[in-house]
């Protein structure tokens, strides 16, 4: 195994590379809105100067297990009785959000859910658990079932690094390519995620090509990561002729109508029939600014639309479910025909995750927190970053909570990824700090929530995000992290 060092450039050559990088980024939409949002002015997305090394074999293993993970989550959703019993408990611990999502599901279920088909655009996040960067294995951080981001920008970072390599600016004294062909792969994530949405449209129309029905993107107001989402929209219209429309949760009630007899949804202004709703919002409490947002979520759930995701599929991504699914017996229950070698591959990606209840495992977890909190991260049932409690902060945090509420959290072993001396460029400024990376593998599944029938199940590319190793969380838009690409080594 031979891993190339990062390119080492003179200050002058690095300055030149930065100009090439910024021009390419702005020229190709590797962009975001800056914090002071103005619709006419974008800025380059924070990226690394160089691709970050990642072991090729491990990457290939993750790609290979993704469809099985997709299927695992479909079976969780299909096994409604089991899922509902877990969610009933979780709802008590997090009545403000998980509880409200669950309540909204129950209300929709009572009224009548007419569309059994469900679309999942998932992302399975991992880190390389290896202090020395060579030995170790890839471990799962979390499985995301709602609003997975950066499928749009990821291919562009790969293309940017590939361009800089081909241009020869990764070498100091020659203009030869620094990385060999095949060492910088380019993710096909926006093409594959858009294909998933296209398939949703196709199945909505009973397996007929139809470019009259459109796709609804539910987004956050003044979304800074708009171009990441737009990449999917541009692909939908250029490849498939399918239009999309963007609305915030709050805008839905005033801008759509539901035909009460057919349960079909139409835009008010243009009377376009909507086939699929794709949520790039609605995963955090702050997305539901008032009751109209909850009402909109409920209303959409009861229509003919194919939801990406449905409330149940979204809720299946709860951290609690992830904890339960690290148990071999549980996986065997959900995937009874899984081969033992494939099962082993799934299990190999898990670190230990404990419940914090009164079970034997829960009691052990409480003991471990008291003895070695530095080995753990504590997670509530929330999404979107900034919610976890790390290491030494765990005991003090738990003391502020009544013991009965602890069971709403899971305790996960800390994964220690190797750090690299890559460089990050953010708002034109270069940061030279040790970085650590998180690899997300995208997967798409279209399935029937009632029967469990799988209509489509596919791999959908990948994403590498990096952050300063000094920061616990890696939100790119939040200012901690950046988008990166892979340098795959054997």
Encoded tokens for 384: 């979107």
Which one is catalytic: 29, 99, 362, 384?
Answer: 384
Applying the rule CB under 6 A, the residues between 310 and 329 that interact with ligand ADP are none
Site string for Mg ion, 133-152 (x = CB under 5 A): ---------x----------
Is 426 tagged catalytic? Answer: no
* HSE-up of residue 350 (Cα within 13 Å, Cβ side): 18
Closest approach of Mg ion to the CB of residue 138, in Å: 15
Closest approach of ligand ADP to the CB of residue 40, in Å: 31
Which one is catalytic: 70, 118, 124, 144?
Answer: 144
CB nearer to ligand ADP: pick between 53 and 474: 474
* Rg of the chain (C-alpha set): 22
Is 372 tagged catalytic? Answer: no
Residue with tokens 């190339």: 4
For residue 412, the cross-strand partners are 353, 377
Judging by beta carbons within 10 Å of its beta carbon (0-12, 13-18, 19+), is residue 462 exposed, middle or buried? Answer: buried
Q: Is 448 in the site for ligand ADP (CB under 6 A)?
A: no
Of the candidates 304, 245, 255, the residue with the CA atom closest to the CA atom of residue 280? 245
259-to-112, 291, 310 alpha-carbon distances in Å:
15, 22, 20
Is 383 tagged catalytic? Answer: yes
Closest approach of ligand ADP to the CB of residue 125, in Å: 6
Contacting residue, 412, 441, 463, 488, with ligand ADP by CB under 6 A: 412
Is 301 tagged catalytic? Answer: no
Is 11 tagged catalytic? Answer: no
CB nearer to Mg ion: pick between 144 and 422: 144
Closest approach of Mg ion to the CB of residue 225, in Å: 14
Closest approach of ligand ADP to the CB of residue 387, in Å: 5
Site string for ligand ADP, 101-140 (x = CB under 6 A): ------------------------x---------------
Considering CB distances under 5 to 8 angstroms, the limit depending on partner class, which of ligand ADP, Mg ion, none binds residue 230? Answer: none
CB nearer to ligand ADP: pick between 338 and 414: 414
Which one is catalytic: 25, 149, 244, 275?
Answer: 149
Is 124 tagged catalytic? Answer: no
* Binding span for ligand ADP by CB under 6 A among 47-55, 253-261, 409-417, 449-457: 409-417
Applying the rule CB under 6 A, the residues between 256 and 285 that interact with ligand ADP are none
CB-based contacts of 476, cutoff 8 Å, min separation 6 = 45, 46, 150, 225, 465, 482, 483
Considering CB distances under 5 to 8 angstroms, the limit depending on partner class, which of Mg ion, ligand ADP, none binds residue 280? Answer: none
Q: Is 15 in the site for ligand ADP (CB under 6 A)?
A: no
CB nearer to ligand ADP: pick between 366 and 379: 379
Is 235 tagged catalytic? Answer: no
Closest approach of ligand ADP to the CB of residue 18, in Å: 27
Q: Is 414 in the site for ligand ADP (CB under 6 A)?
A: yes
Contacting residue, 120, 355, 418, 474, with ligand ADP by CB under 6 A: 474
Long-range contacts from 24-28, C-beta under 8 angstroms, 24+ separation:
24/160, 24/163, 24/164, 25/156, 25/160, 28/156, 28/159, 28/160
Applying the rule CB under 6 A, the residues between 369 and 398 that interact with ligand ADP are 377, 379, 383-385, 387-388
Interface positions with ligand ADP (CB under 6 A): 125, 141-142, 377, 379, 383-385, 387-388, 412, 414-415, 438, 473-474
Interface positions with Mg ion (CB under 5 A): 142
The catalytic site residues sit at: 123, 142, 144, 149, 319, 379, 383-384, 465
């Amino acid at each position: 195994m031979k891993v190339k060092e990062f390119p080492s450039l003179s200050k002058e050559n690095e300055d030149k590379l930065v100009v090439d990088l910024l021009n390419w980024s702005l020229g190709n939409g590797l962009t975001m809105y800056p914090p002071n949002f103005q619709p006419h002015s974008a800025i380059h997305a924070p990226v690394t100067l160089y691709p970050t090394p990642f072991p090729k074999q491990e990457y290939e293993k993750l790609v290979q297990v993704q469809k099985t993970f997709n299927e695992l989550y479909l079976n969780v959703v299909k096994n409604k009785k089991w899922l509902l019993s877990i969610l009933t408990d979780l709802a008590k611990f997090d009545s403000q959000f998980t509880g409200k999502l669950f309540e909204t599901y129950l209300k929709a279920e009572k009224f009548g859910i007419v569309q059994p088909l469900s679309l999942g655009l998932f992302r399975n996040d991992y880190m390389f658990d290896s202090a020395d960067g060579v030995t170790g294995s890839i471990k799962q951080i979390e499985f995301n079932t709602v609003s997975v981001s950066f499928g749009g920008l990821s291919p562009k970072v790969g293309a940017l690094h590939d361009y800089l390599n081909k241009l020869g600016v990764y070498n100091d004294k020659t203009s030869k390519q620094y990385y060999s062909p095949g060492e910088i792969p380019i993710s096909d994530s926006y093409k594959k995620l858009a294909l998933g949405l296209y398939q949703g449209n196709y199945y909505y129309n009973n397996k007929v090509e139809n470019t009259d029905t459109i796709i609804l993107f539910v987004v956050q107001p003044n979304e800074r990561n708009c171009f990441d989402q737009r990449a999917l929209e541009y692909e939908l219209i250029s490849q498939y002729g399918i239009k999309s429309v963007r609305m915030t949760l709050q805008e839905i009630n005033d801008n759509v109508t539901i035909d009460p007899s057919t349960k079909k949804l139409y835009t008010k202004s243009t009377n376009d029939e909507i086939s699929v709703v794709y949520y790039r919002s609605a995963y955090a409490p702050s997305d539901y600014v008032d009751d109209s947002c909850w009402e909109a979520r409920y209303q959409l759930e009861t229509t003919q639309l194919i939801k990406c995701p449905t409330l149940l599929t979204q809720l299946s991504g709860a951290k609690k479910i992830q904890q339960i699914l690290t148990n071999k017996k549980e996986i065997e229950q959900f995937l009874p025909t899984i081969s033992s070698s494939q099962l082993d591959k799934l299990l190999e990606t898990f670190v230990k995750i404990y419940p914090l209840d009164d079970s034997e495992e829960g009691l052990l977890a409480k003991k471990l927190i008291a003895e070695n909190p530095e080995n753990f991260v504590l997670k509530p049932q929330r999404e979107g970053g900034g919610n976890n409690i790390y290491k030494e902060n765990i005991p003090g945090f738990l003391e502020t909570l009544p013991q009965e509420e602890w069971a709403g959290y899971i305790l996960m072993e800390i994964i220690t990824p190797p750090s690299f001396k890559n460089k990050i460029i953010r708002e034109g400024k270069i940061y030279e700090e040790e970085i650590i990376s998180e690899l997300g593998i995208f997967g798409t599944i279209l399935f029937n929530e009632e029967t469990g029938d799988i209509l489509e199940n596919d791999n959908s590319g990948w994403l590498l995000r990096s952050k300063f190793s000094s920061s616990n969380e890696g939100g790119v838009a939040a200012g901690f992290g950046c988008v990166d690409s892979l340098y795959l080594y054997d």
